Amino acid sequence: MKLSPEQRRAALKMRQGGEYIVRLVARLVEKYGITLPDISIEDMVKDLELAESLEPLQAAADIYAASLGDTILQARSECWQAATTFYTTLSRIADANLEVAAELQPAIEFFAHGPRVAKPAPAPSPAPKPTPAPAPTNGTGGSNGTNGAPTS
């Protein structure tokens, strides 16, 4: 069975210890002869038994999946270590051999998209010098001791 993310969110989740309650409810429903339309005790108990029978398989599958994932991770790690080591050697050879440099170009471009070394911040520009105010014309605003009043 494959549930969508929405179906997973909408599904009722049994609380821990709920198996005991399911069996208790089933026993009491049978004892008191309770019936409901479209709901059966037999199906409820079969669903519980199915879930319980699959749980050991789920646990084994989880262990297998974790082991498989770890094996894939380790194999990729070892592979990438060797590839980057060989790439480093080839890139040094490419400095002196244009043919190697040309053939290595896809790898050079690939690695160019990786993490970058932080560049030092540029030195701050000096603050601009204040521009002096233009000299007054027609005899106003000058420094004649009259606070800008015209003189006669």
pLDDT, tens digit (0-9, with 9 covering 90-100), for 71-102: 999 999 999 999 999 999 999 999 999 999 99
- The tokens for 87 are 């790439």
Angstrom distance (rounded) from CA 53 to CA 14? 16
Please give the share of the chain, as a percent, with pLDDT higher than 70. 76
**What is the rounded average pLDDT for all residues in the chain?**
86
CB atoms < 10 A from the CB of 94, how many?
19
Angstrom distance (rounded) from CA 13 to CA 4? 15
124 band by pLDDT with thresholds 50, 70 and 90? confident
CA distances, 145 to each of 32, 132, 136, 139 (Å): 113, 20, 14, 12
49-71: per-residue pLDDT in tens?
999 999 999 999 999 999 999 99
Facing residues of 36 across strands? 39
Residues 66/60, Cβ–Cβ less than 8 Å: no
